[in-house]
Amino acid sequence: MLASVSRKDFVQEAVGVARDDALPATLAAVVLCVLRGARVLRVHDVAAARDAVRMTEAVLGWREPATERHNL
């Protein structure tokens, strides 16, 4: 499933922020899309979205930690 949520009007309208301030809400939408089955995401802020998805996967046990120093 493909999800395209980056900088969309619905994100800005849902939380009442301007486009430039919508990154946290966009990342929340990205995580929800992954939880609902999205496996391809179209985003503008790739690094931030990647980190949000990787963290979600790690918390859910879908991904091994990148390092195990504190994650044992």
pLDDT, one tens digit per residue, over 28-70 is 999 999 999 999 999 999 999 999 999 999 999 998 888 877 7
The pTM of the full predicted model, rounded to 2 decimals, is 0.85
Mean pLDDT of 7-32: 94
On whether residue 69 sits in a domain, the answer given is no
Q: In this structure, what token pair is assigned to residue 60?
A: 């859910």
Distances (CA, A) of 17 to 12, 29, 47, 57: 5, 14, 21, 27
On whether residue 34 sits in a domain, the answer given is yes
Handedness of CA 52, 55, 60, 63 (dihedral sign): positive
On whether residue 70 sits in a domain, the answer given is no
On whether residue 37 sits in a domain, the answer given is yes
Helix (H) or strand (E) holding 12: helix 9-15
Q: How many domains does the chain have?
A: 1
